[in-house]
Amino acid sequence: MSRVGKYPIDVPSGVTVTMAGTTVTIKGKLGEMSLATPDEVETSLVDGKVWVKPKKESKRARALWGTTRANLNNMVQGVSEGFKKTLEINGVGFKAQAQGKKLNLNLGFSHDVVYDVPEGIEIKTPVPTQVEVSGSNRQRVGQVAADIRSYRPPEPYKGKGIKYSNEYILRKEGKKK
């Protein structure tokens, strides 16, 4: 096992961590996030580092130990740097255009797909075939990117559709005569 929980979380400058009971609040330049930690783990702030320790040696406490540490680390990284996912659109005539709080996708359907951007997420289209999803909450950024990709996932024969920029599409051979 990796024992992720045993490593401390470094708090960078410009980020403040406050602990009130079982609630940990983290503030930074990109916003504020809070997490209600489970009763099985104990969090402490020592010398600019956040430590997470299990209270008992039960299986549940050890599982929540690493999960809580990972969630707190993602929150610290989110409010200081943020998270970003890049999507690529492949296909003749397929394109995207960000218009305020809406993303207009032309994906070969008889109608354009209009995606409403949720609060706390920012979407940019530097080129018509690329969509950048960014925000401070890692889970929400990934979910929005997955929602956009689900409108037209890449197909295995020509690779047409929406894919992550670091995703590799396994290609299939077409039918032969």
From the list 141, 151, 8, the residue with the least C-alpha distance to 73 is 8
Note whether 4-80 and 83-164 share their fold: yes
- Helix (H/G/I), strand (E/B), else coil: 143: helix
CATH (residue range 4-80): 3.90.930.12
d(CA 101, CA 98): 8
Taking only the tens place, the pLDDT of each residue in 32-85 is: 999 999 999 999 999 989 999 999 989 999 899 999 999 999 999 999 999 999
Range 83-164 has CATH code 3.10.129.10: no
What's the pLDDT at 19? 92
CA distances from 101 to 67, 78, 119 (A): 32, 21, 9
What's the pLDDT at 53? 92
Taking only the tens place, the pLDDT of each residue in 98-157 is: 998 999 999 999 999 999 999 999 999 999 999 999 999 999 999 999 999 999 999 999
What's the pLDDT at 2? 63
Tokens for 32, please give them: 């504020």
